[in-house]
Structure 1
C-alpha cells in the first residue's frame, strides 16, 4: 500500500478531490501552510493499493497538466510506503 500526499493551492482542492473520488479513490483534505506553496494550501492524503498508484497519478496529472510557461509549481506530491493500514 502507498500513501500519496499531494500539496496544492486551496482553489485547486475541489477539482482534484472530485477527480480522485469520481475514480473511486478516498481522499482526506487538511488545510495547511508551509514552504512548498506558502499560505492558502491544502494537503490531500490518499491511501491506495500498490496496483492503483499509476491510475491515481494519472488522475492528478490530468488536473495539473504541465505548464512550461509557468515556473511556479501548482502541485507537489509524495508517494510513500505504508507499513500497515487498519479500518475500524
Structure 2
C-alpha cells in the first residue's frame, strides 16, 4: 500500500489528535525496531514477516491496514501494560 493510503492517513490522524497516546505509540515503534537497526541495509525489514503474519491473522490479508479505531484501541491497551525492561 502506498503511504497516501486513506486508511493509513486516518490512523495517523487518529493518533495525532490524542497526545495521551503518543508515548505508547513511540514505545511501540521503538519495540518493533530490531536491535542495532542502523547497522545494515534493509535492517528495518526484519519486522515485516511478523507484521504480515499479524495483519493476516487479524484482518484476513497481510496487505490490510488496521482501521484507525483498532490502532487507538491497541495503543490504549498497550498503555495499560507495565513497562518491561529488555
TM-score by length of 2: 0.30
Whose Rg is larger?
2
Bigger fraction of residues in strand:
1
Higher helix proportion (structure 1 or 2): 2
